[in-house]
Amino acid sequence: MSIEQLAETAQAMVAPGKGIIAIDESTSTIGKRFDGVGIPNNEENRRAYRELLLTTPGLSDHISGAILFDETIRQSTKAGVPFAKYMAEQGILPGIKVDKGTHALAGFPGELVTEGLDGLRSRLEEYYKLGARFAKWRAVITIGEDMPSGTCIDVNAHALARYAALCQEQGLVPMVEPEVLMDGDHDIETCYEVTEVTLRGLFDALYSQNVMLEGTILKASMVLPGKDSDERADIDEVAEATLMCLKSSVPAILPGIVFLSGGQSDERSTAHLDAMNRLGPNPWPLSFSYGRAMQQAALKLWSQDLVNNVGKAQETVLARARDNGLAAQGKWKK
């Protein structure tokens, strides 16, 4: 796979006015979301729900790609069309979550390391054959007393870089996601400092492992006060802090940055993205790769009637995609 092809895919992921929908919840994570609204977590419900999301009429006007879970990339629409094929026909790039989740980091109580490197090369080869054109790996950085440790940042950056190099070897664009969690009562300055040191560590590791940045997408968390903090940051403060942090740590050659929503409300996640784009021009396109902030309204509606509410739920997915697509251009109006 040439770097030109990887760069082309990466640029398509952040095409003007478009972003990513993350629907790659593991079986246990989607179980928690289903539980919250009383939907039984079985394979057919998971398939039907992902079909609802992916077949939303008009989705590809605002959505460039969707991140799937292993089970989902092997599933099909009710009519028997494999999801990845259906997406490609709509002009939506199939993506795949390839990490195997977070585990306790030995020797560092309270901190996490993401696993999944063993056997990754052959899994990527298979995912490419199944139609995937980009992949996601999520590392988690926790803020707390004496946390994060330098070791936690280093081991996660090292794993992200190993995954990214393997992705590029196998023709997939790596979406590297070092999520600094919102959990905790820390202030926005602490989040800024942790995010900056995390991103600098990540780009050091990518550089030393020969990852081609032209064919890489960063999935970033925004710079925010912790969710248990008394501090309330307004929209412009978050936008300015996040932009400054990214400019101080992310090379300009990167084709794009997409954000996770991380527990922010739908409206806040859109408003923050919009404000960052209004503050531009920025060195990279800034767009979204939201999970909860794209889906939560739709899931609630669907849960009220799994047969008759499909259309209504899809309307909310489209509305969220449209709003976030506008925010990716700094053109959203509340």
Size of interface with ligand 13P, in residues (CB under 6 A): 10
Residue 178 three-state SS: strand
Residue with smaller CB distance to ligand 13P, 100 or 125: 100
- Interacting positions 123-142 with ligand 13P (CB under 6 A): 138
Parallel/antiparallel/unpaired status of strands 217-220 and 19-22: unpaired
Nearer to ligand 13P, 1 or 117 (CB): 117
Q: Quick one: 69 or 332, whose CB is closer to ligand 13P?
A: 69
Q: Let me know how many helices (H) and strands (E) the chain has, helices first.
A: 12, 10
18 lines the binding site for ligand 13P (CB under 6 A)? no
Q: Residues 131, 285, 291, 325: which binds ligand 13P (CB under 6 A)?
A: 291
Single out the segment in contact with ligand 13P by CB under 6 A; choices: 26-34, 224-232, 255-263, 323-331.
Answer: 255-263
Which parts of 157-216 interact with ligand 13P (CB under 6 A)? 177
- φ, ψ of residue 23 to 5 degrees: the values are -130, 40
Residue 10 is a binding residue for ligand 13P (CB under 6 A): no
Nearer to ligand 13P, 30 or 211 (CB): 30
Rounded CA gap, 320 and 36, in Å? 21
Strand partners, 136: 97, 175
Q: Which is nearer to ligand 13P, 65 or 215 (CB)?
A: 65
Exposure string (b/e) for 144-173, b if CB count within 10 Å is 16 or more? eeebbbeebbebbbbbbbbbbbbbbebbbb
CA distance 272 to 278: 10
Taking CB under 6 A as the binding criterion, the range among 39-47, 114-122, 189-197, 290-298 that sits at the site for ligand 13P is 290-298
| 32 is an active site residue | no
Is residue 255 within 8 Å of residue 217, measured between CB atoms? Answer: yes
Contacts with ligand 13P, 256-275, as mask; x by CB under 6 A: ----xxx-------------
Cis previous bond, 40, omega within 30: no
Asked if residue 25 lies in contact with residue 69, where contact means CB atoms within 8 angstroms, the answer is yes
Is 292 a residue that touches ligand 13P (CB under 6 A)?
A: yes
Q: Is 219 a catalytic residue?
A: yes
Catalogue the active-site residues: 177, 219
Residues of this chain that interact with ligand 13P (CB under 6 A) are 22, 138, 177, 260-262, 290-293
